[in-house]
């Protein structure tokens, strides 16, 4: 994948040193153990920015969330405290799957594993999620468990799709995204919503990610920019078919770098003249 190069706007030493903060709000991709630290996507973004804009100081801030129970609140807190000039809010596929399953496996208070129906299966008016339904999934070591392309989870997701849970899921996510964008504490001028990645380990999982991406992208307001990482192919995934390999991290870095550099080039006040 080629990197979109922008015209270098730092033409002389008459320009003052400009500082930008880039906020990356996502999940395990920030600290994936199967990838050397220096090759993680955010380290690569830092290198690309330093090379393209040598007279600019870029600071990267990392944030993460485990499930959609805290997605909105944690994102607002992250932006409020880090004050990023560019904030990339990643949609995460594993916590998303639970929002689409009519039958959910979870742990009770006494740590017993049980099955229950989706809390919004018969009530689509509420847009909230209880963390207790995500606890079991968060404790699974996805990095070591290889899955088949079609399993029970795929039939569960198919049933949820037929029952309309994906339509509720879209409204749930959009409700949170708009709340983040509209919050008075979120002073970030450049807010990007990063798509769900594909799910090569699950046939229905990948399909749910694709239609969720398409539906959210069409409904986003004009002030929010959509970043597509679903386009990254299966060959860029780790052997677990869940996380990115080094090639995948490089492609994510290039996509996000292109969005940042394009925004800077189009912004008339990207640099200050002394």
In percent, how much of the chain has pLDDT > 70? 86
Tokens of 56: 């600019």
CA-to-CA distance for 210 and 47, rounded, in angstroms? Answer: 31
| Comparison of pLDDT for 188 and 164, the residue scoring more | 164
Across the chain, mean pLDDT equals 86
Averaged over 158-176, what is the pLDDT?
A: 96
| Comparison of pLDDT for 273 and 60, the residue scoring more | 60
| Comparison of pLDDT for 24 and 264, the residue scoring more | 24
Give yes or no for residue 10 having a pLDDT over 50.
Answer: no
CA-to-CA distance for 218 and 225, rounded, in angstroms? Answer: 11
The confidence score (pLDDT) of residue 121 equals 92
Range of weakest confidence among 84-98, 105-119, 129-143, 165-179:
129-143
Could you please state the CATH topology (level 3) that the domain comprising 18-93+166-266 is classified under: Rossmann fold (3.40.50)
The confidence score (pLDDT) of residue 149 equals 74
Give yes or no for residue 272 having a pLDDT over 50.
Answer: no
Give yes or no for residue 4 having a pLDDT over 70.
Answer: no
Residue range 201-244, pLDDT digits in tens: 899 999 999 999 999 999 999 889 999 999 999 999 998 888 99
In percent, how much of the chain has pLDDT > 90? 66
Given pLDDT bands bounded at 50, 70 and 90, which one contains residue 270? very low
The confidence score (pLDDT) of residue 86 equals 94
Range of weakest confidence among 116-130, 137-151, 233-247:
137-151
CA-to-CA distance for 185 and 86, rounded, in angstroms? Answer: 15
Averaged over 165-187, what is the pLDDT?
A: 90
In a 13 Å sphere around the CA of 36, the CA atoms on its Cβ side amount to: 6
Give yes or no for residue 136 having a pLDDT over 90.
Answer: no
The confidence score (pLDDT) of residue 5 equals 38
Averaged over 167-180, what is the pLDDT?
A: 96
Please say whether the dihedral angle defined by the alpha carbons of residues 45, 47, 51 and 53, taken in this order, is positive or negative. Answer: positive
């Amino acid at each position: 994948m080629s990197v979109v190069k922008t015209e270098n706007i730092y033409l002389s030493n008459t320009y003052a040193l400009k500082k930008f903060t880039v906020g990356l709000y996502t999940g395990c991709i920030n600290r994936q153990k199967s990838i050397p630290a220096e090759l993680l996507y955010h380290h690569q973004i830092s290198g690309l920015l330093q090379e393209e804009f040598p007279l600019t100081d870029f600071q990267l801030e990392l944030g993460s969330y485990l499930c959609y129970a805290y997605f909105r609140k944690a994102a607002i807190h992250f932006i409020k405290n880090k004050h990023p000039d560019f904030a990339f809010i990643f949609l995460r596929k594993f916590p998303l799957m639970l929002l689409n399953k009519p039958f959910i496996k979870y742990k009770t208070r006494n740590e017993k594993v049980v099955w229950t129906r989706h809390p919004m299966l018969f009530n689509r008016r509420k847009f909230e999620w209880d963390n207790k339904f995500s606890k079991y999934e968060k404790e699974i070591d996805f990095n070591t468990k290889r899955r088949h392309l079609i399993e029970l989870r795929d039939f569960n997701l198919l049933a949820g799709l037929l029952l309309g849970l994906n339509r509720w899921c879209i409204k749930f996510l959009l409700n949170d995204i708009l709340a983040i964008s509209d919050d008075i504490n979120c002073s970030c001028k450049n807010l990007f919503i990063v798509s769900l990645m594909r799910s090569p380990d699950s046939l229905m999982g990948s399909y749910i990610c694709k239609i969720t991406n398409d539906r959210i992208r069409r409904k986003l307001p004009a002030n929010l920019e959509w970043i597509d990482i679903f386009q990254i192919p299966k060959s860029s995934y780790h052997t677990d078919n869940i996380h990115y390999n080094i090639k995948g991290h490089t492609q994510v870095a290039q996509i996000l770098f292109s969005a940042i550099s394009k925004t800077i080039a189009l912004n008339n006040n990207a640099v200050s003249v002394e």
